[in-house]
């Protein structure tokens, strides 16, 4: 039997096991076999990591000139570029995401570190127009302290970058918890960070389960902010936990993002965008465009072309560079999808393509691109986030009707509109209650574009200029400017 690869946690600049020596296996979704083991952090390990981060925060790190911290960020970016192949490979083995995407993303994510390195010395304060004589007051932005960054398995390098880069730029220290469902790539990332000699304790990397690890981290009394990406139910736990330490919380949660195709859309463009939006990353993307509405006149023709395109997607082993769609990440997800599809069919949903486990599924968690026609968007597959390659399709007649339908879901993360009429694209975008709207495109990210949702998709934005301020607090400083003593405090008037 081949020996499994083993990772350690990175706490206070050292590689360590869990104090109680507990470990767990991480599975390769392609074949359902363990390929690596990782320590399982207990509340003791969490405490050790948080205290290391607090010690680093009490040390030199927040006092460095912003430009000095920026050098570390650029060095992280360099490491990512140089090691994109390795990071991509490990992420693919652990998550099942296709290698050409994970490698490209590891490379591109370097841009986030560069972007926030550039912003590090551009966060300014204000001078206040105070209503009293002989005083001057000003505000400055100060770092928050220890940040708990918690990420889900599906895009860990990206979701880590959107938290770490602004947090480090502003002088905070971090405990990063990787997902128990695919922890390896974050430990590979920590190895790269070790190479750049970041001061000890500035970044600590642990992994473990929601309980006890996540719970202990989010309720630790030295944690000042929790930057969380994951599902809405976990978010509710985190908000409850934050009642213990009164930490600030930012939440990037799930979605059931609607996409509308109008009669006048460029159909080839729309099909490419829809396929990228729901079948890219096997649909395991928080912004997956999973509710599709097609305008009546083109409905049959467009759906036929879309189905033909979906059936051409090459499913296979994710490390193969020809593969366009790999497996789902985990078995639980496969079961959730099957359950929702079954209920949708029972309630009248009609499968156009897919709908059953792929033949590779004997070994791994393969599910084919699936399109289901639904009479209404209250059927389970059209209403629930499935986090898989499942597209529910419905018809619409008018602009007014589609706006109502697009907004009729508890989530509000992303949305898409395909039309040749840009005025209409703008009107619909303004009317949709979602954090992001793509017009005639889909599934784009950029360091300069704020990312995040509203409603049950969470609050707080990641990426963009404003996000750097989310890793600071405003401090007000008062100066007395007269050369005479302050008046007697008991002399009124």
For ligand NAD, the binding residues (CB under 6 A) are 150-155, 159, 177, 179-181, 209-211, 214-215, 218, 229-231, 234, 237-238, 252-255, 286, 385, 387, 413, 453
CB nearer ligand NAD, residue 150 or residue 294: 150
Cβ 441 to ligand NAD shortest distance, Å: 18
Neighbouring C-beta atoms of residue 221, cutoff 10 Å: 10
**Minimum CB distance to ligand NAD smaller for 79 or for 241:** 241
Within 10 angstroms of residue 377's Cβ, the number of other Cβ atoms is 18
Strand order in the sheet with 5-6: 5-6, 33-39, 23-28
- For tokens 């971090």, the residue is 174
Residue 252 known to be catalytic = yes
Residue 214 or 389 having the CB closest to ligand NAD:
214
Q: Provide the minimum distance between the beta carbon of 433 and ligand NAD in the complex, in angstroms, as a whole number.
A: 15
Residue with tokens 């003593």: 485
Instruction: State the minimum distance, in angstroms, from the CB of residue 401 to ligand NAD.
Output: 27
Q: How far is the CB of 155 from ligand NAD (least distance, A)?
A: 6
- Give the span between the Cα atoms of 81 and 92, in whole angstroms: 17
Separation in Å, CA 175 to CA 42, 53, 193, 312, 455 = 14, 7, 14, 43, 27
Nearer to ligand NAD by Cβ, of 72 and 189: the residue is 189
Tokens describing residue 415: 């949305």
Residue-wise DSSP of 89-112: HHHHHHH---HHHHHHHHHHTHHH
Cα dihedral across residues 81, 82, 83, 84: positive or negative: positive
Q: Give CA–CA dist 392/371, Å, rounded.
A: 6
CB 321 within 8 A of CB 314: no
Measured from the CB atom, the residue of 40 and 111 that comes closer to ligand NAD is: 40
Q: Which secondary structure element, helix H or strand E, spans residue 225, and what is its range?
A: strand 223-229
Buried b (16+ CB within 10 A) or exposed e, 284-321: bbbbbbbbbbbbeebbeebbeebbebbeebebbbbbee
**Cα separations (Å) of 34 from 6, 90, 187, 362?**
11, 13, 17, 16
Closer residue to ligand NAD, CB minimum distance, 92 or 250: 250
Selecting among 224, 252, 373, 385, the annotated active-site residue is 252
Nearer to ligand NAD, 171 or 388 (CB): 388
Q: Is 213 a catalytic residue?
A: no
Place of tokens 């465009």: 289
CB of 41 to ligand NAD, least distance (A): 10
Shortest distance, CB of residue 451 to ligand NAD, whole angstroms?
Answer: 6
Of 149 and 379, which CB lies nearer to ligand NAD in the complex structure?
149
Nearer to ligand NAD, 251 or 271 (CB): 251
DSSP β-ladder status, 33-39 and 146-150: unpaired
**Closest approach of Cβ 217 to ligand NAD, in Å?**
6
Q: What angle do CA 126, 130, 135 make, to 5 degrees?
A: 100
Minimum distance, C-beta of residue 316 to ligand NAD, in the bound complex (Å): 24
Output the six-digit token pair for 401: 């009707």
| Residues found in the chain | 493
Q: Which of 286, 373, 374, 383 is catalytic?
A: 286
Of the candidates 371, 372, 374, 430, the one whose C-alpha atom is nearest the C-alpha of residue 399 is 430
Q: What value does the CA radius of gyration of the chain take, rounded to a whole number of Å?
A: 25
Task: Say if CB 383 and CB 227 are below 8 A apart.
Answer: no
Q: Which two tokens stand for residue 329?
A: 């990440």
Shortest distance, CB of residue 40 to ligand NAD, whole angstroms? 11
Annotated catalytic sites, by residue?
252, 286
């Amino acid at each position: 039997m081949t020996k499994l690869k083993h990772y350690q946690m990175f706490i206070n600049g050292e590689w360590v096991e869990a104090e109680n020596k507990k470990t767990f296996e991480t599975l390769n979704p392609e074949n359902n076999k363990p390929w690596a083991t990782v320590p399982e952090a207990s509340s003791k390990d969490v405490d050790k990591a948080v205290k290391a981060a607090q010690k680093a925060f009490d040390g030199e790190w927040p006092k460095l000139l912003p430009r000095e911290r920026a050098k570390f960020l650029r060095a992280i970016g360099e490491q990512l570029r140089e090691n994109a192949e390795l990071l991509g490979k490990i992420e693919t083995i652990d998550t099942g995401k296709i290698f050409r995407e994970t490698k490209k993303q590891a490379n591109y994510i370097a841009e986030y570190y560069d972007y926030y390195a550039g912003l590090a010395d551009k966060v300014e304060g204000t001078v206040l127009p105070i209503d009293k004589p002989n005083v001057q007051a000003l505000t400055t932005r100060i770092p928050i302290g220890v940040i708990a960054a918690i990420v889900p398995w599906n895009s860990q390098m990206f979701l880590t970058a959107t938290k770490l880069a602004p947090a480090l730029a502003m002088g905070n220290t971090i405990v990063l918890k990787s997902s128990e469902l695919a922890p390896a790539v974050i430990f590979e990332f920590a190895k790269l960070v070790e190479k750049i000699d970041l001061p000890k304790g500035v970044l600590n990397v642990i992994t473990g389960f929601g309980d006890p690890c996540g719970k202990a981290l989010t309720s630790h009394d030295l944690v000042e902010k929790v930057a969380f990406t994951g599902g809405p139910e976990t978010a509710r736990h985190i908000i409850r936990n934050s009642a213990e330490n009164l930490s600030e919380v930012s939440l990037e949660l799930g979605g059931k993002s609607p996409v509308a195709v109008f009669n006048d859309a460029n159909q080839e463009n729309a099909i490419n965008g829809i396929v990228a939006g729901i079948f890219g990353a096997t649909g395991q993307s928080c912004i997956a465009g999973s509710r599709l509405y097609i305008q009546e006149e083109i409905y049959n023709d467009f759906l036929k072309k879309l189905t033909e395109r979906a059936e051409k997607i090459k499913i296979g082993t994710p490390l193969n560079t020809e593969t366009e769609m790999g497996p789902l990440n985990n078995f639980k997800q496969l079961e959730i999808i099957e359950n929702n599809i079954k209920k949708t069919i029972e309630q009248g949903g009609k499968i156009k393509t897919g709908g059953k486990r792929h033949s590779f599924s004997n070994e791994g968690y393969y599910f084919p691109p699936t399109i289901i026609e639904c009479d209404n968007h209250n059927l389970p597959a059209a209403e629930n986030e499935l986090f898989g390659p499942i597209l529910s399709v419905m018809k619409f007649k008018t602009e007014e009707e589609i706006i109502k339908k697009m907004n009729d879901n508890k989530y509000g993360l992303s949305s898409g509109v395909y039309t040749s009429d840009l005025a209409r694209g703008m009107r619909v975008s303004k009317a949709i209650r979602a954090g992001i709207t793509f017009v005639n495109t889909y599934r784009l990210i950029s360091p300069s574009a704020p990312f995040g949702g509203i409603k049950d998709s969470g609050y707080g934005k990641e990426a963009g200029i404003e996000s750097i301020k989310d890793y600071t607090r405003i401090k007000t400083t008062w100066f007395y400017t007269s050369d005479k003593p302050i008046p007697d405090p008991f002399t009124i008037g």
